[in-house]
Amino acid sequence: MDSSDWDRRYTEQPRPFGAVANATLVAELVTLPAGRAVDLACGDGRHAAWLAARGWRVDAVDFSAVAIAEAERGWPAAGDSVHWQVGDALTWEPDERVDLVLVAYLQTEQLPLVLERARTWLRPAGRIVYLGHARDNLAYGVGGPRSPDVLPTVASLASALDGMEVLSLRHVVRATPDGDAYDVLAVARELPA
Ligand SMILES: C[S@@+](CC[C@H](N)C(=O)[O-])C[C@H]1O[C@@H](n2cnc3c(N)ncnc32)[C@H](O)[C@@H]1O
Whole-number Å distance, alpha carbon 88 to ligand 1 midpoint, is: 9
Average confidence (pLDDT) over 129-140: 98
Query: Minimal CA–CA distance to 189: which of 98, 124, 132?
Result: 124
Read off the pLDDT of residues 57-105 as tens digits, 9 standing for 90 and up: 999 999 999 999 999 999 999 999 999 999 999 999 999 999 999 999 9
DSSP string over 13-66:
SSSTT-SS--HHHHHHHTTSPP-EEEEET-TTSHHHHHHHHTT-EEEEEES-HH
pLDDT at residue number 193: 78
This prediction's pTM:
0.97
Which alpha helices (DSSP H) does the chain contain, by range?
3-12, 23-29, 46-53, 65-74, 111-119, 137-140, 154-160
Q: Specify the DSSP element, H or E, that contains 181.
A: strand 179-190
Class of domain 3-190: alpha beta
Mean residue pLDDT of the chain comes to 97
Average confidence (pLDDT) over 183-193: 94
Residue 26's pLDDT band, with cuts at 50, 70 and 90, is very high
Domain spans in the chain, listed from the N-terminal domain onward: 3-190
Average confidence (pLDDT) over 25-52: 98
DSSP β-bridge partners for residue 121: none
Whole-number Å distance, alpha carbon 107 to ligand 1 midpoint, is: 7
Whole-number Å distance, alpha carbon 166 to ligand 1 midpoint, is: 24
Residue 192 clears pLDDT 90, i.e. is over it: no
Ligand 1 atom having least distance to the Cα of 43:
27
